Amino acid sequence: MEEKAYWLALQRIAGLGPIKIKKLVEYFGSATRVWQANVLELKGIKGLDLRTINNILEARKTIFPEKELEAVTKKGIEILTIVDEEYPVNLKEIYAPPPILYIKGKLLPEDKNALAIVGSRKASFYGLRIAEELSKNLVENKMTVVSGLARGIDTAAHQGAIKNKGRTVAVLGSGLDNIYPPENKKLAEKVIDQGVLVSEFPLKTPPEAANFPRRNRIISGLSLGVLVVEAASRSGSLITADFALEQGREVFAIPGMITNKQSYGTNNLIKQGAKLVQTVEDILGELGWNLQKNSLSDSEKTLPSLSLQEKIVLEVLGNEPKHLDDIIRETSLGFSEVFTALTELEISSLVVQLPGKLFLRF
């Protein structure tokens, strides 16, 4: 227990990154010893410059390891150090893994079979739907879905897992007591129930832009592969894909229309050699994982018996959203017939309604 407090304290020292911490701990044998080392001992280490040593000495006056740990545990947050057994194995393999992780929830050994789903915060309906659907399929195949709790695709990915009682991991770019975006606070609580919130940032860290690339390296680091659902040309999700390649993980991408800005990044990834994904089988096959259940295949989707009007309405609806007035005009049916048909089709999830009274075949 004590040891963890010193790990925490070390992490708070300015200018002491993962590499140096690792070096110091290896040199002294434990974090406690590093913290207690005297000036001479520190000066004796090769490659440790004077400024860092000064920083360490200064920090000892202002940082109190026990208090740091107490503040963290008070909030129900656990600390995992890189030497802990529970520390995710996948993450250990990457270059400069975070020396400590703040976690809330439970990290299970099975969570090593994880796939990251990332994508645009401003996703299209298509993207959100795919993210949720594939997330569902992944958890049905006993995989853990990793994402970043951001708006858009991330949210859909977490929800897909939660709704289907699967495991999900959310990696934050801020302190664990500082959930961002605020509207996802409820989602974060559900993630804690069915998985774990992870962050390498100390408590109270605000969600600064510079944190997110660092967070992205953990997302890919925790996972066997990264699935990019929708990404514009300079999206943060592409950074995650880059990290995945660097870390030797698989990169998957969902193709989109070439006219769609949100699919530019993903289509480009495919051009560069990322695996194109149509079904969950494409992902599992690449990972050498056996398919247990595949619910996206059409054969399983049994169509409920449709009335004549419902069939007519379904016929005029395509993959492009269509407004109610246009449906009425194109089908030449009356108001109440179209209303009934659309509501029935909505109920049986064959049609979905988008903002603006637009309807889309599901």
Partner 1 sequence: MLAKLYSCSIQGIEACLVEVEVDITLGLPSFEIVGLPDKSVRESKERVRSALKNSGFDFPNRRITVNLAPADLKKEGPGFDLPIALGVLAATEQITQPTLTDWVVVGELSLDGKIKPVCGILAMALKCKEKSMAGLILSEENTPEAGLMTGVKIISLNSLNQVREKDLPIYGGGKGKKLNRAHPPLLIDMQDVKGQEQAKRALEVAAAGNHNILFIGPPGSGKTMLAQRLITILPPLSLEESLEVTQIYSVAGMISNRGQLVSTRPFRSPHHTISCSGLIGGGRSIKPGEITLAHHGVLFLDEVTEFRRDALEALRQPLEERKINIMRNNFSYLYPANFLLVSSCNPCPCGFRGDLLQECQCDARQVKKYFGKISGPLWDRFDIHLEVPRLGKDKLMEQKINESSLEIRGRVEKARNRQKTRLEKLNLYHNAQIGPRELKQFCYLTSESKAFLNKALDKFALSARAYDKILRLALTITDLAGEEQIKPSHLAEAIQYRTLDRNQLI
What binding mask, one character per residue, do residues 181-200 give for partner 1 by CB under 8 A, x or -? Answer: xxx-----------------
Q: Give the position of tokens 């005029």.
A: 316
Nearest to 135 by CA among 121, 152, 156: 156
Segment 49-108, which members bind partner 1 (CB under 8 A)? Answer: none
Does position 288 bind partner 1 by CB under 8 A? Answer: no
Nearest to 228 by CA among 249, 198, 209, 255: 255
Residue placing its CB nearer to partner 1 in the complex, 79 or 170: 170
Residue placing its CB nearer to partner 1 in the complex, 55 or 340: 340
Nearest to 242 by CA among 258, 255, 256, 253: 253
**What is the C-alpha separation between 159 and 132, in angstroms, rounded?**
7
Does position 122 bind partner 1 by CB under 8 A? Answer: yes
Structure tokens at 293: 């259940």
**What is the C-alpha separation between 263 and 78, in angstroms, rounded?**
38
Which of 12-20, 66-74, 163-171, 341-349 is the region at the interface with partner 1 (rule: CB under 8 A)?
Answer: 341-349
Among 245, 353, 360, 361, binds partner 1 (CB under 8 A): 353
Among 60, 112, 151, 163, binds partner 1 (CB under 8 A): 151
Does position 311 bind partner 1 by CB under 8 A? Answer: no
Q: How far is CA 336 from CA 30, 321, 332, in A?
A: 75, 21, 12
CA dihedral 211, 214, 219, 224 (to 10 degrees): 170
Which of 94-102, 136-144, 294-302, 316-324 is the region at the interface with partner 1 (rule: CB under 8 A)?
Answer: 316-324
Residue placing its CB nearer to partner 1 in the complex, 319 or 343: 343
Q: How many other CB atoms are found less than 10 A from the CB of residue 51?
A: 10
Does position 329 bind partner 1 by CB under 8 A? Answer: yes
Q: How far is the CB of 125 from partner 1 (least distance, A)?
A: 6
- 107, 84 in Cβ contact below 8 A? no
Q: How big is the site for partner 1, counted in residues (CB under 8 A)? A: 33
Among 83, 125, 275, 279, binds partner 1 (CB under 8 A): 125
Does position 142 bind partner 1 by CB under 8 A? Answer: no
Among 149, 283, 342, 351, binds partner 1 (CB under 8 A): 342
CA 331 to centroid of chain Cα atoms: 43
Does position 301 bind partner 1 by CB under 8 A? Answer: no
Which of 15-23, 105-113, 213-221, 345-353 is the region at the interface with partner 1 (rule: CB under 8 A)?
Answer: 345-353
| DSSP helix/strand/coil, 358 | strand
Does position 305 bind partner 1 by CB under 8 A? Answer: no
Which positions ≥6 away from 135 have C-beta within 8 Å?
117, 145, 156, 157, 158, 159, 160, 161, 164, 166, 168
Which of 1-9, 107-115, 204-212, 324-332 is the region at the interface with partner 1 (rule: CB under 8 A)?
Answer: 324-332
Q: How far is the CB of 347 from partner 1 (least distance, A)?
A: 5
Helix axes 335-347, 308-316, angle to 10 degrees: 80
Among 328, 331, 333, 360, binds partner 1 (CB under 8 A): 328
- Determine if residue 164 is left, alpha or beta; phi over 0 gives left, psi from -120 to 50 gives alpha, anything else beta: alpha
Binding site residues, partner 1, CB under 8 A? 121-122, 125, 128-129, 151, 156, 181-183, 321, 323-325, 328-329, 335-337, 339-340, 342-344, 346-347, 349, 353-358
